[in-house]
Amino acid sequence: MEVEAADVIRLIQQFLRENNLHRTLATLQDESSITLNTVESLDSFSLDITQGNWDVVLKTIASLSIPQRKLLDLYEHITIELIEMKELQAARSLLRQTEVMQLLKDIYPDRYLKLEQLISKISFEPKEAYPNRASKEKRRAIIAQSLASEVTVAPPSRLLTLLGQSLKYQKSQGLIPEDDIPAFDLFRGIVPQAKVEEDMPTTQLYQSIKFPKKAHAECVTFSGDGQWMVTGAMDGMIEVWSYLTGKLRRDLKYQVEENFMMMDAAVLCLAFSKDSEHLASGSQDGFIKVWKISTGQCVRRFPTAHAQGVTSVAFSRDGGTVLSGSFDQTVRIHGIKSGKMVKEFRGHVSFVNDAIFSLDGHRVISGSSDGTVKIWDAKTAECLNTLTLHEGHSVTSGVHSATVSRLLQMPNNGDNFLVCNKSPFVYIVTLKGTVVKYFRIGKGLGDAPVSEIVSACVSAKGEFVYTATEDGMMQWYSVEGDSIYPQSSLKACESDIINITHHPFSNILAVAGENGLVTLYKP
C-alpha cells in the first residue's frame, strides 16, 4: 500500500487546524501548494448554502480551494440574493470591491453587466434574476451540490488516531513490549521505562497541602506512570498536584483557567486507568465520572452508577470498564463505551467499602462493612469464596469480623492481595482464601486494647506494608521479615487519617487527614 506525500501533509494541516495553529497552517499551505479542502461536516456545509447563511459560507470558503467557475457562480448568486433583499449597499460592495467579482467582469462582462442592471432597477423581478424557470431555492441546491463535491470531511484527530493504531500494530508485532507502558517516545521510537526505586522506609515529612477543613481531601491517588497525584475533596473538587512541590500542576491549562474537574457531591474515591490517561471518580451521590487527565474533559458519565455513595472505583486492564463498590451493598462493572452497567455482584449485606480486580483481571475482590471479603468470577459474577478474617486467621463461622476498609493487590505476586479491616490486624491473603501472613499493632493478643487500623498501602516493590490507625499514627512492616509487629511508627496526623497511598515506583507516601492536610513523606 502506497501513501501519497500530499495526504501526509494534509494530515498535518488538519492537526494544525484542530489545534488553532492557523499561521503555521497558512505557511504550510503556501510552501507546499497543498490546500486542506475539508469541512467539519458536509451536511452542515450544504445546509448553510441551501438556507442562505452566506456569512458562514463565505467564511468557510475563504480557507478552501474552489475552482474559479464555481466560485464565480457562488458570488454571483449571493449578489442576486442581496439585491432581492434590498441590501443594495452590500450588493454593490460585493460586486465592485471583491477580487472574485472583478474576475467575473473580466471573463464574463455580460453577466457582470446584468448584475449592475439588477441593482439599478426599482423593483426586483425573480424571472429576470432566475431565468429558465429557475428559482432561488433551485439555484442554492445546485450551488450546494457543486461546492460539496470539492470538499471532504476528515475524522477528528485523524493524525493522532493513525499514530495510535500504528503503535498498537507495533505492539502486536512485538516491536513494543506487551506490558502496559506509561508513555512512548514517538520521535525517537523508544519506550521510556520508569525506574522503580529500591524500597526504603518512608517516614520523613517533606511537603504538606492544606485544604479547608470542611473541604478536606477524602482520597488521594497516584497515576501508574508516576506523573500525577490527584486529590478528591468533600466539596466535589478534583485537583492535580506536583507531589515534589506540593503545589497545583500549572502545566494543565484547565487548572490554570480554574476549570477544575468537579463532582456535584463529595468525592469518595479515585482511580487511574493503566495507561494513566483517564481518571475515574466516584461521589457521595452515587455518580461516577471518567476524565481525560490531560485536558480535564469528562469523557463519560454514569449518573445512576449506584443508589448510594460510590466508595471505590477501579479500571479494568484494557481500560474498557470501571469497577465500583458502594454503600448500596453492591459491586458493579460499567462499560465506558456503552455508558451502562454490564455486570452486578450481589451478596454483601452491608456497605461495600472497596473493590478491586485481581492482577490478571479474572477475579473481582470486594470488602464490606459486614466483615467479609468476597472473591468473584469477573465474567459470571459468581461468588467463589467468602472470607472472614479475625485475629490473624480466616474463620468460617461464629465470628462477626471487623469492617473491611481497604483492599490492595500485592505488586510482587499476582495471587496475593492485602486486606485491611478496622482492627489491629492487616492480612496478606491468596485468591484461594489462604492467609499468607498477617501484621498487627501491639505485642500480643492479651494486651490492652490498641488502636484500629483504618487504612493501608504497599510499597512499590511490595517489600513494606504501611498502616494508619485511628489515632493518627502511621506504622510500617517488613513483608519478608520475621516480625508481625511494626518496625517503626510515627505521628502522621493530628486528627483521624482518612487515606494513605504509595507512589507506584518512588518511595513517596501521601496521607490525607480530617484536619484538612495532605502530608507527603519520603525516606
**In what helix (H) or strand (E) does residue 15 lie, and over which residues does it extend?**
helix 5-18
CB 437 within 8 A of CB 407: no
Cα angle: 190, vertex 192, 193; to 5 degrees: 135
Question: The C-alpha cell of 177 is what?
Answer: 513490549
Domain ranges of the chain: 39-148, 204-522
Q: Which residue carries 490498641 as its cell?
A: 450
Give alpha helix (H) positions in 19-150.
22-32, 42-50, 54-61, 68-84, 88-97, 99-107, 109-120, 126-129, 136-148
Terminal CA-to-CA distance of the chain, rounded, Å? 55
pTM over 0.75: no
pLDDT single digits (tens) 224-257: 988 889 999 999 999 999 888 888 988 789 998 9
User: What is the predicted pLDDT for the residue at 445?
Assistant: 47
Assess if CATH 2.130.10.10 describes domain 204-522.
Answer: yes
Q: What φ, ψ does residue 371 adopt, rounded to 5°? A: 85, 5
Question: For residue 174, with 0-12 CB atoms within 10 Å meaning exposed, 13-18 middle and 19 or more buried, which class applies?
Answer: exposed
Distance CA 513, CA 497 (A): 4
**Cα 129 to the center of its chain, rounded Å:** 56
C-beta separation of 365 from 378 below 8 A? no
Of 470, 458, 474, nearest to 511 (Cα)? 474
φ, ψ at 232 (rounded to 5°): -120, 130
- Residue 13's φ and ψ, nearest 5 degrees, are -60, -40
Contacts of 221 (CB under 8 A, 6+ apart): 229, 230, 270, 271, 272, 501
User: Which cell is 168 given?
Assistant: 498498537
Calculate ∠ Cα 499-505-507, nearest 5°: 65
Ranges of residues in the chain with a pLDDT under 50 are 173-175, 177-182, 190-191, 193, 444-445
Alpha carbon distance 374, 387 (integer Å): 6
**Per-residue pLDDT at 424:** 93
| CA distance readout (Å), 161 to 157, 185, 321, 431 | 6, 16, 21, 38
Predicted local distance difference test score (pLDDT) of residue 181: 45
- What pLDDT is recorded for position 3? 78
Rounded Cα gap, residues 418 and 405, in angstroms: 11
pLDDT of residue 444: 46
Query: How many other CB atoms are there within 10 angstroms of residue 312's CB atom?
Result: 25
